[in-house]
Structure 1
């Protein structure tokens, strides 16, 4: 069958997707629908074998080779090459055997549509990238439409789309669908899930009179409906003006006629509620057949018969967790985003988190049947980590505590959760606080929290000595074996992941006391402190391991300045070359020795460092070398980070003195004590995560060495492939080394999924089990100072400067004084803060990581500014008001 020129829909096997290479995505789907008994107009497919012959005759190799060298951003060159390819294809006459096959199988008016092999796929729909021709009459006209379909594989938009999605132009072929024409009275598009909110129980239907082309092409403002699929009830309706109607002409082709009047919706919808309910039922059945939400084109003819003309997956929906129930609403909180990570995690990164989660779960009394699967509340979707917080949402205590914690860590998420409280599906089931109090008391006593908190309050130096002891003891436990079998290395990695989390309750109480003291001072200074004054107290806070890391890198830059030749090399050589020379050992000693010293202490850190599967700075120092070169460009001594840090500390002490004086008397003494303790203790908030990342670095090294062994044995292709396995995968392979399976195909599948998810630009903070993203439903919180963006005040002060939008800090360059605009941050971002003039962050709250570090450096900052990376562009002049939480662009300032 692989050399077939023509296949009728019912001849395409039921496993239609397996025929993709021969018939393309659209025809494969029509084959599935036809054989499943859905109302599809009869038709046939001219297979990709016909196109292959045309492409060979056209001689496209030279164009394809040229396209492989062009960037997705070079649109003029892409368009020029696309035009050349179209011309080559259009110049080739249709071979006679293909023409004969078409003439023998086509009768009456038909629609002629392209069906590419990279089209209507689960991860990329390619909707509208190739051409469609409607109401084509006569064999010669059909053959001409077929030729134009072949050429449309090379439209400007199709070439650009493939380039942007990393799809090899030489691997794509095109089949052509020829389908009996439905002379529609009503037609349109149906999504079997709400594409805006993600809700899987809703069908969204756009409808207009005449052919569906007017709706698909956007030429008409259609009637719009949202239908509840289970009941068939119309939940929302919006009538369009339907100014254009496209209908078939008797002799072939179509005509556009005007209907209605501009700006006014017709009073009567073009489709009845009964027809909408029937459409929703049919859509639900199609979705069930595919096991995924669908984007369906449909038509209703003059007899009232409903037809499906094509279907494709909806590729923009965020996937659901695999265990999401159908009838019991669950609320999932994205732990990845909470840690400042928009990108997906590697399979090993997720597996490590699952194992880590089992220890605290058991500590608080949650049964964990299998530590490798982790706490039962952990799940994943889109290669991101999610936590099922439904139980917290249905608890009176949970509703009180969780949003308050998020107010200072991720304020936007707190607002989303509060917006869910009225939902009757999340009614309270646990009203008494006693179970929570008993559990908290048991945990506090188990870890000795009261004693640790009292010690920290009475003598912060004791807290710091305790933290140093905890770190030293952990490092002893983490000491890796010099020689070990893969099984022993796995055991050490698993032991490390379990032990590391136990450091958190030994250090966190001291930081909690610091923040409690800050809260006490805030209460004591109500109506006394001015906006932003208490934030000033947290500038230049000592004992913050992340700040110490950034300043250590700055000190290295200062040391390099003393060596002009080394500095010249750093400023004039590419980062990749510098990194290669560091690995070779050929950098000047002033750079090599200092960098080696820095990496010995901080080399276990990385951008997106919570993902064990990603390289550490010690493995790939390119990012740190780039930041170091950036530091060397800062020439104003007064703007030096260490100078600013010291200035901030002095200002903080002055502010404490002033606030206590204004409070006066006993209250003033309490203010001085509380703010002093806050400065002494809040810096410890970064240490537990620093130690956890240390643990991840140790575990990663052991797993990497297992990967070296697996690669030598041919189980995987290269050592780093091991991070696309999970801990259970490795355990199974090392348990029976002589019969270990070939893991290469598993790695390939997971890599493909991971790389697709890398292209996803948006991850929901909160996701419901019916697919709804509550933030998409809620009113946008763009604020309304002349269209400005608003978020949460994170670090007081105002700065006007040039914006630099950075989505990934790896290799990013920030001119001194530029304002950093980013989705979120983790410690891997913070070296950029030292030269930033200000910070705007889409995620976070007043005490999120980025906010804390910005305050310590005295950088005006606004966090939780939704949509900042989309509404602000690099080079734009913006003003960041860190006191009021407002970001103004140049036209608003």
Structure 2
């Protein structure tokens, strides 16, 4: 009834905060006048019904019939993430009954300006009304805006106050460079003087005037202290950071309005210790896009991340992969690297690791009956017709996929110990032999499902080039059959993240695969020559004896088998992911049919438990629609903010004349033009010899390495999948640059030094 602004002011009054007296012309009054009409012109000339006109004038008289501020208060302003700042009109220093009624009409009409209509359309808001707030005018000596969190850094312990002479409109509308105060949690104040270019003041007969700015004194310390105390009270009451307009007049502070801060960056994580930073490099690569609520309630806790949490927990380390994503209004807003906690079980971990390493050989893991049972169960579930299931059966499919992958944690617990010990043994050995630089090159060589997928893509590309399939419509039957066979085997590969269900798989987005084929078909495939690290190691004087050489070959083979287990277990354990995604999209399609959602993928804004508890009633349909809409608006608000500051995870390193620096991941130096690829849909842009610059990688990106001259990645480290594959293809790689995709641009000629971890301007 009061709209977002009016409702918030009512809360402030109810809690005894200093708000100017006023009243609200409710949304009911607007609806009574609108009678289904839209458009600004209608409202600016419409006559108010007699009873409404008299009610407004009576309330005005009770205020003293003096100057007032008239502010629009749309109903959608209380949606999380919908600031509506400046979208509807405000009129200051309104004097007289007729001027007041005219201001109310113009506020109503401002709901239908082009900018307001376009703003609502962008946020998907189609049901809106408007109230009007009328407040006694405060002729401020100084006024401005206060944020109860730092809008730049996201620090929730700081308040930021902007102030200038006269009415706060000069600050709100950006007409002045205001005085700037940053107040910390202990009350310390950092002050930066503004220029106060313009002063806005009320005129005697109504309206406002602009005057040339004058140098003013900074706010008294007591006023800054009072503002900070009031700001914290308001934020505490609403339970979230607030954007507050305030005024100081006649020695008193007034709060003129308060609304939630929007587009607020996540809080700074501070200095990360080595363990948290190491975890962060993994998590940032695994969460390259903002998870949806359905991710948070499905694949994130039950898929690979949840399984790794169980694995680390089995060896006495808790909280390594849990609780690292923070939500607000049901939407993820921050990634906070967790702090792993050892438990008493960690004391027994060495004995468990040793026992399992003796018993479970990663080279034979696919013979394990548990794995074979898992594969059979996945194939049975994949063969079911989701579209033919009744709702009650379909809504159970997600948890059936969770049940499938639950035993996978046991396989990881059993087979990873020998993998880890093999890696440690090889690393220690090459270090003792003073051949540590060869370690990375020794890790590749095993045949994996990823390498098989890449080779299959090359064969598809050669077939496409030979038959002209990419230019034919339709492609040849031979190509179509080969393409379908490829998708049947590899279509469950993720495009963005293995721990999120919402990004499409290759099967969901076959155009991604066609882009890869198009890129690979551009010229005949020539596999890059790679350095045989094993033969170089075996040339060591201490390894000339046949038995020592044989032992070293066994150790390298065991290490590669462990690497293959890590790679292939990931390949197989993500097989239920597309089944889960299809079941969720099918649920979304049915909710579209019921008018709950506008498109099937809007189901991603809901949580699984909300789908499971859904009752097909008018009230439940409306409730679910409102929940999805509010979260969509919140997600849109956060679209421009990062989950975590890259500098906290990948601190800048001084690199002389380097454009960017990162972790050396694959040796060599090469020069080529930059090609920034931000998402799988852009795979086809890469040309042979380009320097691939991307925000993240995963196995589905590795076919690009067959054409790239070098790889530069915002996230990841030397042990990441991308680094290993880059070494296999013999191309330089620099990982964890943090800012590569924002600093480098297409076509720029750069030199990538994979040994030093630098990217410089080509000479």
Q: What TM-score bracket applies, with the shorter chain setting the length?
A: 0.7 to 0.9
Q: What residue number does 1:493 align with?
A: 401
Within the candidate set 443, 449, 460, 1:556 is matched to: 460
Matches within 5 A, 1:177-192: 177-192=133-148
Instruction: Give a deviation string over 1:312-358, Cα, whole Å, max 9, x none.
Output: 101223689xxx9xxxxxx9977863524322144266334434558
Q: CA deviation at 1:848?
A: 1.9
TM-aligned CA distance change 1:677 to 1:287, over 3 Å: same
Q: What residue number does 2:364 align with?
A: 465
Q: What residue number does 1:851 align with?
A: 723
Q: What residue number does 1:203 align with?
A: 159
Q: CA deviation at 1:283?
A: 1.7
Is residue 687 of structure 1 aligned with residue 594 of structure 2? Answer: no
Within the candidate set 400, 416, 428, 1:520 is matched to: 428
How far apart are the structure 2 equivalents of 1:469 and 1:616? 30
Is the 1:788–1:888 contact (alpha carbons within 8 Å) kept by the matching residues of 2?
yes
Is residue 234 of structure 1 aligned with residue 183 of structure 2? Answer: no
TM-aligned CA distance change 1:282 to 1:500, over 3 Å: same
TM-aligned CA distance change 1:236 to 1:712, over 3 Å: closer
Within the candidate set 210, 218, 221, 2:174 is matched to: 218
How far apart are the structure 2 equivalents of 1:541 and 1:741? 60
TM-aligned CA distance change 1:391 to 1:631, over 3 Å: closer
Is residue 122 of structure 1 aligned with residue 73 of structure 2? Answer: no
Matches within 5 A, 1:269-348: 270-302=218-250, 304-317=251-264, 337-347=284-294
Matches within 5 A, 1:577-592: 588-592=476-480
Within the candidate set 624, 636, 641, 2:523 is matched to: 636
Matches within 5 A, 1:19-98: 19=1, 23-46=2-25, 60=39, 93=45, 95=47
Q: CA deviation at 1:636?
A: 2.8
TM-aligned CA distance change 1:821 to 1:628, over 3 Å: closer
Is the 1:793–1:885 contact (alpha carbons within 8 Å) kept by the matching residues of 2?
yes
How far apart are the structure 2 equivalents of 1:824 and 1:495? 30
Matches within 5 A, 1:284-433: 284-302=232-250, 304-317=251-264, 337-347=284-294, 350-355=297-302, 356-357=306-307, 359-360=310-311, 363-364=314-315, 381=327, 383-384=331-332, 392=340
SS in structure 2 at match of 1:127: coil
Instruction: Give a deviation string over 1:257-290, Cα, whole Å, max 9, x none.
Output: 3334xxxxx9x7x223332232222122222332
Is the 1:117–1:172 contact (alpha carbons within 8 Å) kept by the matching residues of 2?
yes
TM-aligned CA distance change 1:754 to 1:833, over 3 Å: farther
Matches within 5 A, 1:613-652: 613-614=501-502, 617=505, 620-631=508-519, 634-637=521-524, 640=525, 643-644=526-527, 647-648=528-529, 651-652=530-531
Instruction: Give a deviation string over 1:467-493, Cα, whole Å, max 9, x none.
Output: 455754532454526789949967753
SS in structure 2 at match of 1:607: coil
Is the 1:630–1:814 contact (alpha carbons within 8 Å) kept by the matching residues of 2?
no
Q: What residue number does 2:352 align with?
A: 443
Structure 1: tracts of 5 or more residues without a match: 1-18, 61-85, 261-265, 325-330, 369-373, 399-429, 456-462, 574-585, 767-772
How far apart are the structure 2 equivalents of 1:53 and 1:35? 28
Q: What residue number does 2:272 align with?
A: none
How far apart are the structure 1 equivalents of 2:401 and 2:311? 18
How far apart are the structure 1 equivalents of 2:452 and 2:412? 20
Is the 2:80–2:630 contact (alpha carbons within 8 Å) kept by the matching residues of 1?
no
Q: CA deviation at 1:749?
A: 5.2
How far apart are the structure 1 equivalents of 2:748 and 2:113? 33
Is residue 864 of structure 1 aligned with residue 758 of structure 2? Answer: no
Instruction: Give a deviation string over 1:87-134, Cα, whole Å, max 9, x none.
Output: x579x5353658887666553333343333443642121323444443
TM-aligned CA distance change 1:520 to 1:623, over 3 Å: farther
Is the 2:353–2:417 contact (alpha carbons within 8 Å) kept by the matching residues of 1?
no
How far apart are the structure 1 equivalents of 2:650 and 2:625? 41
Aligned-residue RMSD, C-alpha:
4.9
TM-aligned CA distance change 1:597 to 1:868, over 3 Å: same
How far apart are the structure 2 equivalents of 1:803 and 1:375? 33
How far apart are the structure 2 equivalents of 1:222 and 1:713? 52
SS in structure 2 at match of 1:108: coil
Q: CA deviation at 1:627?
A: 2.2
TM-aligned CA distance change 1:473 to 1:312, over 3 Å: same
Is the 2:57–2:97 contact (alpha carbons within 8 Å) kept by the matching residues of 1?
yes
Is residue 801 of structure 1 aligned with residue 673 of structure 2? Answer: yes
Structure 2: tracts of 5 or more residues without a match: 270-275
Return the TM-score normalized by structure 1.
0.68
SS in structure 1 at match of 2:478: helix
Instruction: Give a deviation string over 1:552-578, Cα, whole Å, max 9, x none.
Output: 1221121222223x3322xxx6xxxxx
> Is 464-473 or 272-281 further displaced after alignment?
464-473
Is the 1:337–1:763 contact (alpha carbons within 8 Å) kept by the matching residues of 2?
no
TM-aligned CA distance change 1:215 to 1:438, over 3 Å: same
How far apart are the structure 1 equivalents of 2:722 and 2:635? 23
SS in structure 2 at match of 1:568: coil
Is the 1:378–1:385 contact (alpha carbons within 8 Å) kept by the matching residues of 2?
no
SS in structure 1 at match of 2:264: coil
TM-aligned CA distance change 1:839 to 1:755, over 3 Å: farther
Q: CA deviation at 1:504?
A: 1.8
